Amino acid sequence: MKLHGYFRSSAAFRVRIALNLKGIEAEQAFVHLRKGEQKAAPFAGLNPHKLVPALEVDGRVLTQSLAIVEYLDETHPEPPLLPGDPLGRARVRSLALAVACDIHPLNNLRVLQRLKAMGHSQAEVDGWYRHWIAEGLDGLEAQLAGDPQTGRFCHGNAVSLADVCLVPQMTNARRFDCDLSGYPTLRRIEEACLAIPAFADALPEHQPDAEA
Ligand SMILES: N[C@@H](CCC(=O)N[C@@H](CS)C(=O)NCC(=O)O)C(=O)O
């Protein structure tokens, strides 16, 4: 397997966590998003959407981090990243999609770059980022806090796809100096996850392509 990613990409971070949790060794290829390498050959030939991550496996190319993580979960079932019951799976996917579909796309690099190109100042772009982080994390905190299904992690006491999505989003929010004081449940779960080497080793600063 070969993972095409970028140290700061939270979508690639999700896949790194899943690979680590499953104990899968994957070769890494680095796509420098700030230099626009995702928009040109060879990467754009692998993923016409021009977004990382992409995972090469058995001569095929998988894209979309959640599809990749579910593929890894199906082919390497231990430890499972989705609960065994349909209601549990729906809850975990709902939490994961709140990050991957409702928060992350609004704050993607190309969206922030487009806002700048339209003439918005850096302060306005930062405000946009923090606004959507707050909207999304407010919802997640309310969804998780006080729900007996929430345990040490987002769903009970085993890590799941929901944690795989939450931790990179929290890391990203910290990078943009978002105020996370109002999210005690999210911070507690983040801390529990980062105590696990599979999560900590996947942090941006621990990647071979990390930059200051
Ligand atoms: N839904 C996609 C999102 C992928 C994505 O947005 N990747 C970002 C990095 S986290 C990217 O490549 N951005 C490049 C750009 O915005 O030009 C997934 O989950 O894989």
Which residues, other chains included, contact 170 with Cβ-Cβ below 8 Å and sequence gap of 6+? 180, 186, 187, 190
The 10 Å Cβ neighbour count of residue 94 is 11
Asked whether the beta carbons of 1 and 24 are under 8 A apart, the reply is yes
C-alpha 147 to ligand 1 mean position (Å): 31
Dihedrals phi, psi of 57, to nearest 5 degrees: -145, 125
> Does ligand 1 come within 6 angstroms of the Cβ of 51?
yes
Question: pTM for the complete prediction?
Answer: 0.98
Residue 211 Cα to ligand 1 midpoint, Å, equals 19
pLDDT in tens, 108-144: 999 999 999 999 999 999 999 999 999 999 999 999 9
What is the average pLDDT across 173-180?
96
Phi then psi for residue 153, to 5 deg, are: -115, -175
56-85 confidence digits (pLDDT tens): 999 999 999 999 999 999 999 999 999 999
From residue 81, alpha-carbon distances to 12, 24, 109, 129, 207 in Å are: 17, 14, 28, 29, 23
Among the listed residues 57, 58, 49, the one whose alpha carbon sits nearest the alpha carbon of residue 31? 49
pLDDT digits (tens, 9 = 90+) for 38-56: 999 999 999 999 999 999 9
The answer for residues whose C-beta is within 8 angstroms of residue 208's C-beta and 6 or more apart is: 7, 28, 30
Closest atom of ligand 1 to CA, residue 110 = 16
pLDDT tens-digit series, residues 12-22: 999 999 999 99
Helix, strand or coil for residue 36?
A: coil
Confidence of residue 93 (pLDDT cuts 50, 70, 90): very high
Separation between Cα atoms, residue 169 and residue 147, nearest integer Å:
21
- Measure CA 110 to chain center: 16
- Ligand 1 pocket member 82 (CB < 6 A): no
The arrangement of strands across the sheet holding 54-57 comes to 27-30, 2-5, 54-57, 60-63
- Complete domains list, the chain, with CATH: 2-79 (3.40.30.10), 86-198 (1.20.1050.10)
